[in-house]
Amino acid sequence: MTTSSNNSATALAHTNIALIKYWGKKNADLIIPYTGSLSLTLDQFYTKTQVSFDRQLEQDTLLINEQAVTDKSWQRVHDFLNLVRQQSGITENARVISDNHVPTAAGLASSASAFAALAAAASKASGMDLNERDLSRLARRGSGSACRSIYGGFVEWQRGSDDTDSYAVPIENPNLKDIRIVALTIETHQKPIS
């Protein structure tokens, strides 16, 4: 879901759980995996992100769950916004407000929903009109698993060999519609290894 108006857009993306993992990156810069992967979207865990490009901003700003962020998370978002600026041709800095309904670094792929929502909102706010495949490619550049969070249900990340053919696609199979995953949050603090 994406809504937009005058250099501002809001998007919502759900996280996903990998059923078959991608086992590392063949190209770390482009986030191209060694192998494809398979995931199931979790409809109860999501991130809602608003991106507003504004020429009056001196730098990109990031709020996550109403807290200003200036650490390595800010740098990752800033680098991603630079990619969006490069692809869209705009130069303005952005205000990013993200509301994360996924425990961060707790094993539920919070970066997947975060970068999928950021990709959808930033691309729309910058004037890009991406189809789902290209949005999946863009989201992958922020976090590999984010390419799978563009879709609901079962999703396959096709590894590809370069930036143009590494993206996710939904798996359409009526036999899979009744499968459910139950995720129980026992602790909400960050795990030491993410």
User: Is residue 167, in this structure, part of any structural domain at all?
Assistant: yes
Q: How many CA atoms lie within 13 A of 67 on its CB side?
A: 8
CATH number at residue 104: 3.30.230.10
Mean pLDDT per block of 10 residues along the chain (194 residues) reads: 77 94 93 96 94 97 96 97 98 97 71 97 98 99 97 96 97 84 70 58
Q: Is 187 domain-assigned? A: no
In the block, tokens 């919502």 appear at 12
Residue 47 lies in a domain: yes
Query: Within a domain: residue 154?
Result: yes
The pLDDT, as a whole number, for residue 102 is 80
Nearest residue to 32 (alpha-carbon basis) of 125, 164, 160? 160
pTM: 0.91
Please check whether residue 134 lies inside any domain of the structure: yes
Is 97 inside a domain boundary? Answer: yes
* 190: in domain: no
Q: Which residues pair with 168 in a beta bridge?
A: 157
State the total domains in the chain. Answer: 1
Rounded Cα distance, 162 and 12, in Å: 27
User: What's residue 178's pLDDT?
Assistant: 81
Please give the pLDDT value at position 191: 60
With b for 16 or more beta-carbon neighbours within 10 A and e for fewer, the 109-140 pattern comes to bbbbbbbbbbbbbbbbbbebebeeebbbbbbb
Helix (H) or strand (E) holding 167: strand 167-170
Domain that holds residue 21: 2-176
- pLDDT, position 185: 67
Classify residue 194: in a domain, yes or no: no
The predicted structure's pLDDT at residue 107? 63
